Amino acid sequence: MDQISCPTCGKAYQINPSYYGRSFQCHCGQMVTVLGGLDRLERHTAIADIVIGAVHKPGRPAPMMVTEDMVKTMKPGSVIIDLAIDQGGCVETSRPMTLANPTYVAHDVVHYCVPNMTANVARTASRALATAALPYLNLIAATGVENAVRTDPGMAAGLYLYRGEMVNRQVADSLGIPPQDLAGLLGAEA
């Protein structure tokens, strides 16, 4: 069972994976989810007022989810927001724009695809990032980098390069080079 929460009323639901692909509406009437499946994506893209692309594969380009043919089926004046544009976008008609010139129209659909969108709220975004990063910085300051990546799996997972060696599997794969084993590199020094 997976748990989802209604963003409007906060009520939590246990969803059986066999429900994936069906529409689901909260008792408050506000939330409808549809999970997975190209045919369903095509059907709902055609009737949507707004399509928000938010696919993310760590260390990899975003997968293409919405094709140009699907965009052509959308209603005139509907909107695409491609949050995955930082990783290349997940909509075929997406191209990176700027905060100064953020939108364009393709196939009568308004596209908003601005990389680093959080720069719009720079102060708030910086505070949020600092708050998220502070526990890791405190750990490094208190115990040193080697101990921090040894003892905190999250820290180790966030490490790309260690003493010049690529230790992140996703980034290594995307560059076509073999990843080095971090535990081995750390152990060799101990």
Say whether residue 8 binds Zn ion (CB under 5 A). yes
Q: Closer to Zn ion at the Cβ: 7 or 76?
A: 7
Say whether residue 9 binds Zn ion (CB under 5 A). yes
Q: Closer to Zn ion at the Cβ: 6 or 113?
A: 6
Query: What does residue 3 show for φ and ψ, rounded to 5 degrees?
Result: -105, 135
Say whether residue 32 binds Zn ion (CB under 5 A). no
Q: Which residues contact 90 (CB under 8 A, 6 or more apart)?
A: 53, 55, 62, 63, 64, 65, 66, 82, 84
| Tally of CB atoms within 10 A around 4 | 15
Size of the site for Zn ion (CB under 5 A): 6
Q: Closer to Zn ion at the Cβ: 11 or 60?
A: 11
- Per CB under 5 A, the segment of 8-16, 45-53, 95-103, 146-154 that binds Zn ion is 8-16
Q: Closer to Zn ion at the Cβ: 26 or 70?
A: 26
- Per CB under 5 A, the segment of 4-12, 95-103, 110-118, 171-179 that binds Zn ion is 4-12
Q: How far is the CB of 29 from Zn ion (least distance, A)?
A: 7
In 3D space, the residue among 181, 174, 185 whose CA is nearest the CA of residue 58 turns out to be 174
Q: Closer to Zn ion at the Cβ: 13 or 104?
A: 13
Q: Is the dihedral of CA 84, 87, 89, 90 positive or negative?
A: negative
Strand ranges in 100-176 using DSSP code E only, listed in sequence order? 103-106, 109-112, 161-162, 165-166
Six-digit token string for 127? 């505070």
What is the contact surface with Zn ion in residues (CB under 5 A)? 6, 8-9, 26, 28, 30
